[in-house]
Amino acid sequence: TRSSSMSVYRNAVWLVKGLQEYTRSGYEAAAKHFAPADLEVSLSGRSYVITGANSGLGKATAQEVANRGGTVHMVCRNQSRADAAKEEIVERSKNQNVHVHIVDMSNARQVWEFAQSFSQSSCLHVLINNAGCMVNERELTEDGLEKNFATNTLGTYILTTALIPALKKVEDPRVVTVSSGGMLTQKLNADDLQFEKGAFDGTAAYAQNKRQQVILTERWATQHKDIHFSSMHPGWADTPAVQTSMPSFHAKMQAKLRTEAMGADTVVWLAVSAAAAKQPSGLFFQDRKAVATHLPLASSRASAQEEEKLLAALDEFALKFKP
């Protein structure tokens, strides 16, 4: 069919692009053009919520924020792992303003409760939507939602929408969402958000969620002009999540993968630098540059109507779980 040959085309073009740009050598080539002074900032008095902050890119980002004097709120699922990561971050940064919040991002009610109580007690300058999962079997949460969708799309949607009022109270508020270049292989499918049709493919589900995050970022940017939104691709980094969810990719690519710090670099740049805030809101970044959200000739653009359908569905889910 036309749509499956299009999908083969997208995957092939994406792989060639990835081997060139998403690897360690791709990072090193891009980094020659970075301005080192961009990250020489004090974040004292600014507050950062980072989801999935106990490992991988989230932890690397939390460390960089703590090193610069920012207040870090780590949103994590597992208390003992979060506490261990927090101790390391405090020890290395000598910054005591690091806090742990236990939230399962796949649990919509918990996400709401956290966001509401956080807004009442603390201020927020930057939200970093980093937590994500790639579940390779079709698995349901206790609420009966498909797990990738619940975590990557709905969790991100509820957390961001619920924290927008808190962000609107501060100077220079930002929302950074860690998406993935894998989203380039996907066209939005708002008719099957929970992957009920056809054979389930965890990698494709994940990439579809990441496409949805890019679209949400564009939409939020047009709705809330006083907040700076961005989404980004970290490249292919050697993280515990990649090892666990994509073992064969990890084994094959190991020598070419980026370090966690390389993967986190653009997250940190978007979250802290003055240069990033000067970029238009709503864009998708790779190695500190705004890049295209579609591959050439890939027919992956959704209609405005389809995007509206996504937003309406997320609104409905969000309301259903609102305390």
To the nearest whole angstrom, how small is the minimum distance from the Cβ of residue 140 to ligand NAG?
18
The nearer residue to ligand NAG, 23 or 55, going by C-beta atoms, is: 55
Binding-site string for ligand NAG from residue 89 to residue 118, where x marks contact by CB under 6 A and - marks none: ------------------------------
Whole-angstrom distance, CA of residue 109 vs CA of residue 97: 27
Q: Is 22 designated active site?
A: no
In angstroms, the CA 265 to CA 151 distance is 23
Which of the ranges 73-81, 105-113, 170-178, 273-281 carries the binding residues for ligand NAG, by CB under 6 A?
Answer: 73-81
Residue count at the site for ligand NAG (CB under 6 A)? 3
Residue 177 half-sphere exposure toward CB, CA atoms < 13 A: 31
Question: Among 74-82, 162-170, 203-211, 212-220, which window interacts with ligand NAG (CB under 6 A)?
Answer: 74-82
Q: Which of 76-84, 102-110, 159-167, 306-314 is the region at the interface with ligand NAG (rule: CB under 6 A)?
A: 76-84
Q: What is the DSSP letter of 254?
A: G
Angle 44-42-80 (CA atoms, 0-180°, nearest 5)? 60
Give the nearest distance from C-beta 194 to ligand NAG in angstroms.
24
Q: Which stretch binds ligand NAG (CB under 6 A): 43-51, 77-85, 151-159, 292-300?
A: 77-85
Cα–Cα–Cα angle for 70, 129, 126, rounded to 5 degrees: 35
Site string for ligand NAG, 217-256 (x = CB under 6 A): ----------------------------------------
Tokens of 251: 């084994």
- Which one from 22, 48, 157, 206 is the annotated catalytic residue? 206
What type of residue sits at position 234? P
Instruction: Report, in Å, the least distance between residue 268 CB and ligand NAG.
Output: 26
Residues paired with residue 42 on neighbouring β-strands, in sequence order: none
Both tokens of 298, joined, read 């890939």
Of the candidates 169, 179, 298, the one whose C-alpha atom is nearest the C-alpha of residue 229 is 179
Query: Is 100 or 311 the residue whose CB approaches ligand NAG more closely?
Result: 100
What DSSP state is assigned to residue 192?
A: -
3-class secondary structure, 320:
helix
Q: Is 80 in the site for ligand NAG (CB under 6 A)?
A: yes
Which of 52/235 has CB closer to ligand NAG?
A: 52
Question: Beta strand 228-233 with 174-178: parallel, antiparallel or unpaired?
Answer: parallel
Question: Which is nearer to ligand NAG, 41 or 102 (by Cβ)?
Answer: 102
Nearer to ligand NAG, 55 or 212 (CB): 55
- Amino acid in position 289: K
Instruction: Work out how close the CB of 74 gets to ligand NAG at its nearest, in angstroms, rounded to a whole number.
Output: 14
Nearer to ligand NAG, 53 or 270 (CB): 53
Q: Which of 17, 81, 99, 256 is the binder for ligand NAG (CB under 6 A)?
A: 81
| Span near ligand NAG by CB under 6 A; candidates 10-18, 75-83, 239-247, 255-263 | 75-83
**Per-residue tokens: 154:** 């709905």
Nearer to ligand NAG, 78 or 254 (CB): 78
- The answer to whether the beta carbons of residues 71 and 97 sit under 8 Å apart is yes
How far are the Cα atoms of 31, 86, 89, 91 from residue 96, in angstroms, in the given order? 31, 10, 9, 9
Distance of alpha carbon 42 from the chain centroid: 24
Cβ proximity of 232 and 286 under 8 Å: yes
DSSP 151: I
User: Tokens for 114?
Assistant: 């956290």
Catalytic residues: 206
Binding site for ligand NAG (CB under 6 A): 78, 80-81
